[in-house]
Copies of this chain bind each other. A is one copy, B any other.
Amino acid sequence: MSVIDFRLRPPVKGFLDMVMYAKAERRDGITRNHGMQPAASAQAKSMDMLLAEMDEAGVTCGVVMGRYSGLYGSVSNSDVAEIVRTWPRRFVGVGSLDPSERKRAIAQIDEAIALGLKGINLEPGSYPQPLHTDDRRLYPIYAYCEDKDIPVTIMAGGSAGPDLSYTNPVHVDRVAADFPQLRIAITHGAWPWVSEILHVAFRRPNVYLSPDQYLCNMPGMEDYVRAANGFLAERFLYASSYPFIGVQRYAEWFRALPIRPELLPQLMYSNAARFLSLA
């Protein structure tokens, strides 16, 4: 069985400058707060070890997302493209952009697609000037991606923004309603707004949901699982959010959840493949 890990940040290139690798102690503290142990590959910043852990976990492919962030550090589209080029069967890439100038942002989308990246990752609350997900300045970007059939991932959960208002699913709800043909994947599961994002996903068929690390011992985890077993079965996306949770430990954790076994291939692979239009 093939498995796509929908959010995985390997210890290489620009990722090494990000807070999650530069401040190992903070990262490991978060990992332990999830009741998990840090991954050896993350602590060693070793690609070889990560690839071995992916093998052990049965993760055939990781989705590597670029990032433009004031707070957490940035990873350029060319870095993402080079990671994909170096390990072509193990990773697919998603690009990012700087939304502060509209025309340049649109150009960055085109460049990302030309580089072979499969979608665009937005992290509105983490930009140097934080934005809510439904900020009007993002609407030309959503419109362009909808018109070009480019899927969009939005980090709108966890610490995605200066305060809790940035993850309130009302912002995603409006975007999903205003761009009904745009495929949107919410990473970090809009946690802690579990009931509310599940309502949005129930109502908006263009919303995919990836609770990733916030599935691990967090309030609401049973509700994510119930939705994955029910109305969300075709739009749930499996992701470890590595290096916050190790790919291998996450896989063990996930496979022990009370998920209907016949759904695992779609939750762990085909929903992501369809979302990203992988061949």
A residues with a Cβ closer than 8 A to B are 33-35, 158-159, 162-165, 167-170, 173-174, 177, 191-196, 198-200, 202-203, 217-220, 223, 226-227, 230-231
B177–A173 touching, CB < 8 Å: no
B230–A217 touching, CB < 8 Å: yes
B223–A217 touching, CB < 8 Å: no
Q: Please report the C-alpha to C-alpha distance between residue A227 and residue B192 in the assembled complex, in whole angstroms.
A: 13
Q: Please report the C-alpha to C-alpha distance between residue A169 and residue B168 in the assembled complex, in whole angstroms.
A: 11
Please list 10 pairs of residues, one from A and one from B, whose beta carbons are closer than 8 Å in the complex, sorted by A's number. Answer: A159-B203, A162-B174, A163-B173, A164-B169, A164-B173, A165-B170, A193-B195, A194-B195, A217-B230, A220-B223
Q: What residues of chain B lie closer than 8 Å to A223, measured between beta carbons?
A: 219-220
B192–A219 touching, CB < 8 Å: no
B193–A35 touching, CB < 8 Å: no
Q: What residues of chain B lie closer than 8 Å to A226, measured between beta carbons?
A: 217, 219
Q: Please report the C-alpha to C-alpha distance between residue A98 and residue B168 in the assembled complex, in whole angstroms.
A: 31
Q: What residues of chain B lie closer than 8 Å to A159, measured between beta carbons?
A: 203
B173–A195 touching, CB < 8 Å: no
A164–B200 touching, CB < 8 Å: yes
Q: Please report the C-alpha to C-alpha distance between residue A167 and residue B163 in the assembled complex, in whole angstroms.
A: 15
B162–A177 touching, CB < 8 Å: yes
Question: A239 CB to closest chain B CB, in angstroms?
Answer: 19
Kindly name the residue among A35, A191, A199, A203 whose own CB sees the greatest number of chain B CB atoms within 10 A. Answer: A199
B174–A170 touching, CB < 8 Å: no
Closest 7 CB pairs of A and B: A219-B223, A33-B231, A192-B199, A192-B195, A164-B170, A195-B219, A163-B173
Q: Please report the C-alpha to C-alpha distance between residue A35 and residue B158 in the assembled complex, in whole angstroms.
A: 29
Q: What residues of chain B lie closer than 8 Å to A200, measured between beta carbons?
A: 164
Q: Please report the C-alpha to C-alpha distance between residue A169 and residue B219 in the assembled complex, in whole angstroms.
A: 15
